[in-house]
Chain A
């Protein structure tokens, strides 16, 4: 797994490439959580290069989103595969997230303040 970060239109974009599972989740956590240190952060997790998210991975996403939410920030997901979207829905992880087809559409919505 590889994580790339960038900033665009005031949002942090985190691209996850590879599987987010028990083997990689600690590394991902160490990279993502320190970015949630200040208030009002908006974050887009770009998942188009991520083929598999395990239970541990979904928990990391939820934890990050909740942490951001209490700090008046927001985390959205983009580029999820149909299978991951489906798994998230069946296992109840979808309720907390807004998801977008692409980073551009996510940024557009964040720009409008949604």
Chain B
């Protein structure tokens, strides 16, 4: 139908482009019939100009002021007709007061990126040195928002059935050993989908993929003399654009299609996609940082400022996004809705999420409006929402993050307790009993269920699994901060020698410890998360903070896969076992009683003696049994599972709870046994001869399946 409101009404001063007043919503640049609708908000700007560039050109080919009649409220909006928008980059000049004490930092000479940019140029190819003389470094672009999704839909896998796999898009396949055509990119992950399926994970959690500046690091590596990079990318330039440098087609400006294709293909293979999103700060840093966008568009709206007009630094990165300002809150909501609806992502993990619950003075709120809005948003209604429930300002909310029954948390206590138990620290048995059942001590009080707990032993932040059993101390010298960066609380144990060793006994123990960790993680209630590469014993040579290492330190070395087949095989089978047994995947916490009349409570605790766990401070042994008839709250029938953990340096014999006569115990895992007897294919377990007792070797885990005699 012909619309009467799409006629140009004005012509720009140079006479080249026809204009008319635009639509204030949606913000950003939107393709409309015959033109592009531009819309940008600023509360305190007095005027705004639109600068139009051909791609990669330093000088704009046209600068068009928003006429007074093109402003509605605090929004500047205009349609520009006849643009070749595929070859276009645009930005804004904002004029307004410069008054630091009042929080205003307008500078009309700066060219500012649109906060709603769906695509951002300037860093099109990862690591390609930018033209530093260019006044406009991060350049807004316009994208086609159509994509052939082929009936794709977010998978909506129940969260208790997920196995997260945390990866860095570049680090996952950049190493020369990855053997693929497009290493280090979205397309590269697509090439590795068969690998992910073989491993069995069904949800990838991608470290930041929003546009960031890999050059945002001025340090030089003392190890190589080369410039370090912002490799991880926890520092957003823009929130709506996928990082061009993570796409093989970024040089053609096609990162949006490449990223969507990856998500579509992962979905086809039953794998969900969670994005790690960073709403706590931006790449503009503090007072000394660059003007990219927000600071020059409306500093006082976008950032938390001290009464003197300086930047609060709860993020540890120079500034703090003003998340509970209504405008910023709307931007975050728009952003997440965009990724959920336009990119079909299945959920989000929020970096330093407690910042999202701070008020405009930085104080923690009891019911933060942003977190509540996200919890109840209709478009995000089926998305997984996961909080990293702490921030650099000292707010630690593991177990108390405001949730409205929707938010899950990275469970840092799970990580710490499991590591301590694994290395044989005393006094951990009580805590372990909580961690293994989905941390009811943290999450039951609000009835949040076991899956409020995302269980992990390792993540990008900290040691890899191999390093956790190979290093007592961090070794971050290559980061150029005199080994002062990164956590000192690693709860790791090198098994006798710091770092690499030829000692076969130590290497055998390390392998066993990795298997112990994998076994405990994958039989824990809650949702497990595996750090990419741990399944092949990838190392960072003791670097526990590889945020700046765009090199072999942080890239996964795929040659480990061949060398460390044994641990890979162990991970694959453990994951398959978890998937085969719903008794391991309860959505709710256990009731600690027999409500099915099976003769066993849903969970029972044991130790060296059956029915009598040793809870004393010196105990390093623990066992538990999950009754199959109580699987998933008694809604489905499963085998029973018995898990015995001996983290003592001596062997111990464990008495096993007796099953009814028609059932027996079958051996699935014994980490003390040499491969291939350490683990079997799920369903192929062998009946154990002695049904009443099992000798566990030093520092080892045994898993038995209780099922009908055959």
B252 neighbours in A (Cβ, 8 Å): 54-55, 87
Interface segment among A27-35, A68-76, A90-98: the answer is A90-98
A23 neighbours in B (Cβ, 8 Å): 84, 87
**Contact present for A92 and B257 (CB under 8 Å):** yes
**Contact present for B84 and A22 (CB under 8 Å):** yes
Partner of A92, one of B85, B253, B264: B264
**Contact present for B248 and A54 (CB under 8 Å):** no
CB distance from A55 to the nearest CB of B (A): 5
**Contact present for A56 and B144 (CB under 8 Å):** yes
Bound-state Cα–Cα, A96 to B148, Å: 10
**Contact present for A62 and B86 (CB under 8 Å):** no
A55 neighbours in B (Cβ, 8 Å): 86, 144, 252-254, 257
Bound-state Cα–Cα, A59 to B147, Å: 9
Q: How many residues of chain A are within 8 Å of chain B by beta carbon? A: 18
Check if B150 is an interface residue, CB within 8 A of chain A: yes
Partner of B86, one of A56, A91, A93: A56
Check if B579 is an interface residue, CB within 8 A of chain A: no
Bound-state Cα–Cα, A59 to B31, Å: 15
Bound-state Cα–Cα, A52 to B190, Å: 23
Bound-state Cα–Cα, A56 to B253, Å: 11
Bound-state Cα–Cα, A21 to B87, Å: 9
B148 neighbours in A (Cβ, 8 Å): 62, 92-93, 95-96
CB distance from A80 to the nearest CB of B (A): 15
Query: Which of A21, A86, A87 neighbours the largest number of chain B CB atoms within 10 Å of its CB?
Result: A87
Q: How many residues of chain B are within 8 Å of chain A by beta carbon? A: 27
Given contacts A87-B249, A95-B150, are A22 and B85 in contact (CB under 8 A)? yes
Check if B146 is an interface residue, CB within 8 A of chain A: yes
CB distance from A58 to the nearest CB of B (A): 8
B264 neighbours in A (Cβ, 8 Å): 92
Given contacts A56-B144, A59-B146, are A90 and B248 in contact (CB under 8 A)? yes
Bound-state Cα–Cα, A86 to B146, Å: 20
Check if B550 is an interface residue, CB within 8 A of chain A: no
Check if B325 is an interface residue, CB within 8 A of chain A: no
Given contacts A54-B252, A91-B249, are A21 and B261 in contact (CB under 8 A)? no
Bound-state Cα–Cα, A55 to B143, Å: 9
Q: In the complex, which residues 137-184 of chain B have their Cβ closer than 8 Å to any Cβ of chain A?
A: 144, 146-148, 150, 181-182
**Contact present for A90 and B261 (CB under 8 Å):** yes
A92 neighbours in B (Cβ, 8 Å): 147-148, 257-258, 260-261, 264-265
Produce 1/0 per residue, A1-42, CB < 8 A to B.
000000000000000000001110000000000000000000
**Contact present for B182 and A90 (CB under 8 Å):** yes
Bound-state Cα–Cα, A96 to B261, Å: 13
A91 neighbours in B (Cβ, 8 Å): 249, 254, 257-258, 261
**Contact present for A59 and B258 (CB under 8 Å):** no
**Contact present for A22 and B258 (CB under 8 Å):** no
**Contact present for A22 and B86 (CB under 8 Å):** yes
Check if B398 is an interface residue, CB within 8 A of chain A: no
A89 neighbours in B (Cβ, 8 Å): 187
CB distance from B292 to the nearest CB of A (A): 25
Query: Which of B85, B247, B258, B264 neighbours the largest number of chain A CB atoms within 10 Å of its CB?
Result: B258
**Contact present for A21 and B86 (CB under 8 Å):** yes
**Contact present for A90 and B144 (CB under 8 Å):** no
Query: Given A54-B252, A90-B182, A90-B261, list of 6 further CB < 8 A pairs?
Result: A54-B253, A59-B146, A62-B148, A90-B186, A91-B254, A92-B260
Nearest 8 A/B pairs, CB to CB: A22-B86, A92-B261, A91-B257, A90-B187, A22-B84, A56-B86, A90-B258, A91-B254
